Structure 1
Amino acid sequence: MISTTRTPGAATGGLPLNGLLALATAAFITILTEALPAGLLPGISAGLGVPESAAGQLVTVYAVGSLVAAIPLTVLTRGLNRRPLLLTALAGFLIANTITALSGSYALTLVARFIAGVSAGLLWALAAGYAARLAPAPLKGRAIAIAMAGTPLALSLGVPGGTFLGSLIGWRACFGLISGLCVVLIVWIMAALPDFSGEAAGERKPLKGVLMLPGVRAVLLVVLGFVVAHNLLYTYIAPFLQALNMAEQADRVLLVFGITSLAGIAVVGALIDHWLRTLTLASILLFAVAAVLLAVAAGMPSLVYGAIALWGLAFGGAATLFQTASAKAAGPAADLAQSMLVTVWNTAIAGGGLIGGLLLEAAGVDAFAPALLLLLACAFGVTLASTHGFPRRPSPR
């Protein structure tokens, strides 16, 4: 695959920060669009005249859009230039958030949220590969880390900030502001990002061929185990904290999680190009230690906060680790591999919620830690066994 313009980072040996920060802002918008309704449910419920349970489906429909669209859209657009596709995804967010801001119809808002989810599926399939192609070979992992920094920023600062802002100016104005940010970002990307060509017809591997590349399946299995474990706990953090008599501290707990997630992505970004395998194993182990601490933390709030900090540190750089591993394993077929990763990630989100709900109903929150440890043990074992998805030796400096 050949760039249609010169790659700034590859040409100079450094990182094209302007372009990478534009991609990070795209990730920020994607996560903010996805998660903000959860913080604005009462207002959305009242504004659309539906129960909060129905308003909550705005998040579900978004996830469904990403899940069903990522692979088909990536397959259909493999031969197209990358920048127009990225701009199309952002235009989808602009349209969806504008409709959400203006619509008085629940049905129309659901359609808008589905469009946003489809746009997210396309954007996530493009982002990591785009970032990697912007950078020289020794810095590809760091470039992906910078591009993905918008994700923890949105979770730790964007969503709480948007929720607070919504209480001041209303939920519709919040989605309107995201639309305005989309316009700014579209102009920024047109100015800052070079275009890249898609795959030539003779270079395109079929979906099954990409899945059979050494290391790709291992990365997807690790993603499945890790993200199911994460969402099992994250989705039901409120009842979990309630069982520890800490329900009123949920906002502070999530703030600690968000801050340490930022630290996690900073550590991963600094070391990933040489220590991908070690960092992945360390992230899984940190999450496992956090699960053990949470299992024995009843009556010890300081231990709970310590465990949450370890969990955030483990999760913060996870997306970057998995996307980098997938991109390196797939090589020229990275975009299609990323679309598989997006699909597995969204499946894991749904699976974590489903498994967590079943465990909560059947055995209560005491069942969470054993389930987390089982899932993480499987992820650790697959990482340890896969020398293609997670190479044994660090890359040469």
Structure 2
Amino acid sequence: MNNIWKIYMLSLISFLVGTSQFVISGILDQVAASVGVPVSAAGQLITVFALANAIGTPVFMVATAKIDRRNQLLLALAIIFLGIVSTLALPGFEFLMVSRIILGVGTGIFVVTSYSTAADLALPGRQAGAMSNIALGYSVSLVLGVPIGRVIASAYDWKVIFWGIGIFTVLGFIAIAKTIPSMKSEAPIPLGEQLAMLKNPKITFALGVSLFVFTGYSVVNTYIAPFLTSTISISGGGVSVILFALGIASLFGSKLGGFLADRIGTIRILIGSMVVQALSLGLVSTFSGYAVVVISLLMIWAIGAWMFGPTQNFNLLSIAPKASGIMLSLNSTFVQLGFAAGAGIGGIAVDGSSILAICWIGTAAVAVALFITVALLGITRSLSSERG
């Protein structure tokens, strides 16, 4: 098999892996009903997934450092398959929580390893494009995987989705075993070395921005399906259409962020994306009775949120250009911690207040991130003028 097709294969499996993570947000109300828990409790399935991903991935990557990349990919898919089997076979909400923890670890290992594998398979000078294909596969799971999952869950049962993911995981395992050559893994970055970077206040504040932005995103995204069904009284099929539209908006925002950052500056795009997120979420609560306005504002919010991601990665690399691997690893951890915090906080809000509260909490989280960014910018300029 040509190396280009091997990269596309990894991208396709990344779509599958991404769907196993994100699909829960699109069917959260149905999962909650099937296991007999409130929607707020079901939201913690996303919390434990994200925590397992954030904490378990770097630990497992260090522990498996001596295993070649093909075997790391196979190990990741084996862990994912175990998580899917436990999802399907074990009864009750508690076992479902354990299954999400297993899936979180497996997903994290696969995504990290597939990036480096794709870069090694690519022709010289095309490594960035190969890695972007992996990111694209992961992102498209939001565009297609989540709404398709909603359609399947509405027509049959939400577990049918995981039957499909399980079957394709086995096929992916076979494909990798037969086509990906043995590749020596790079020495992993020790956890101590990664944590040492947090001594730099500029890095700590920048990662804090990621934490708060993705907390705000997760608060809303985790409960988006019950929010839509309760706020604008839309049916299951309508929810799938809206989820698809939000996925398209996310993809567009991701591309737009990188495009504009190259032309008008990283900081301006970061600030602009956060302003867009805060305003759109605030207005959603104000116009909650108007379906067309709410859907339009949510699409604007999704564009703003996904403009932030690639732009923030570039911003972090510019802060510490000689430690790019550490910075991307740390940012990934803080993003997942944001997902976990958002799902947890959103669950408390949904349980104790109106579901509209998630929009105000999302607005507040992004506003904190915006304040940190502006404050950090002011400190940086002040230091620069003193040195000058």
Cα pair distance change 1:375/1:305, threshold 3 Å: same
Greater displacement, 315-324 / 359-368: 359-368
Equivalent positions of 1:37-52 (< 5 A) are: 37-39=24-26, 50-51=36-37
Please give the secondary structure, in 2, of the residue aligned with 1:177: helix
TM-score scaled by length of structure 2: 0.74
> Is 1:263 the equivalent of 2:252?
yes
- Tell me the residue number matched to 1:222: 209
- Tell me the residue number matched to 2:364: 371
- Tell me the residue number matched to 1:254: 243
Q: Return the offset for 1:326.
A: 5.2
CA RMSD of superposed structures (Å): 4.3
Equivalent positions of 1:255-294 (< 5 A) are: 255-268=244-257, 277=266, 279-291=269-281, 293-294=283-284
> Is 1:304 the equivalent of 2:294?
yes
Cα pair distance change 1:319/1:151, threshold 3 Å: farther
- For 1:343-387, what per-residue CA distance to the aligned partner results, in whole angstroms no more than 9, with x for missing partners? 322221232234445667579638447514523413643785799
- For 1:49-93, what per-residue CA distance to the aligned partner results, in whole angstroms no more than 9, with x for missing partners? 654667665444433422331232233344543332222111211
Cα pair distance change 1:171/1:307, threshold 3 Å: closer
Q: Tell me if the contact between 2:250 and 2:302 (Cα under 8 Å) persists in the aligned partners.
A: yes
> Is 1:164 the equivalent of 2:151?
yes
> Is 1:315 the equivalent of 2:305?
yes
> Is 1:29 the equivalent of 2:16?
yes
Q: Return the offset for 1:309.
A: 1.9
Cα pair distance change 1:17/1:301, threshold 3 Å: farther
> Which one-letter code corresponds to 1:262 in the other structure?
L
> Which one-letter code corresponds to 2:234 in the other structure?
E
- Tell me the residue number matched to 1:76: 63
Please give the secondary structure, in 2, of the residue aligned with 1:149: helix
> Is 1:347 the equivalent of 2:337?
yes
> Which one-letter code corresponds to 1:176 in the other structure?
W
Q: Tell me if the contact between 2:223 and 2:346 (Cα under 8 Å) persists in the aligned partners.
A: yes
Q: Tell me if the contact between 1:162 and 1:174 (Cα under 8 Å) persists in the aligned partners.
A: yes
> Is 1:207 the equivalent of 2:207?
no
Please give the secondary structure, in 2, of the residue aligned with 1:197: coil
Q: Work out which of the residue numbers 66, 90, 114 in structure 1 matches 2:53.
A: 66
- Tell me the residue number matched to 1:390: none
- Tell me the residue number matched to 1:394: none
- For 1:318-348, what per-residue CA distance to the aligned partner results, in whole angstroms no more than 9, with x for missing partners? 4444455556766786555444333322221
Q: Return the offset for 1:260.
A: 0.8
Q: Tell me if the contact between 2:252 and 2:303 (Cα under 8 Å) persists in the aligned partners.
A: yes
> Which one-letter code corresponds to 1:346 in the other structure?
Q
- For 1:211-233, what per-residue CA distance to the aligned partner results, in whole angstroms no more than 9, with x for missing partners? 45797545422311210121233
Give the count of matched residue pairs. Answer: 371
Q: Return the offset for 1:124.
A: 3.8
> Which one-letter code corresponds to 2:287 in the other structure?
A
CA distance in 2, matches of 1:386, 1:130: 39
> Identity of counterpart residues, as a percentage?
24
Please give the secondary structure, in 1, of the residue aligned with 2:139: helix
CA distance in 2, matches of 1:29, 1:284: 29
CA distance in 2, matches of 1:268, 1:324: 11
CA distance in 1, matches of 2:137, 2:189: 35
Greater displacement, 196-205 / 245-254: 196-205
Q: Tell me if the contact between 1:58 and 1:110 (Cα under 8 Å) persists in the aligned partners.
A: yes
Cα pair distance change 1:204/1:114, threshold 3 Å: closer
CA distance in 2, matches of 1:65, 1:111: 10
Please give the secondary structure, in 2, of the residue aligned with 1:248: coil
Cα pair distance change 1:282/1:130, threshold 3 Å: farther
Cα pair distance change 1:358/1:17, threshold 3 Å: same
CA distance in 2, matches of 1:276, 1:134: 32
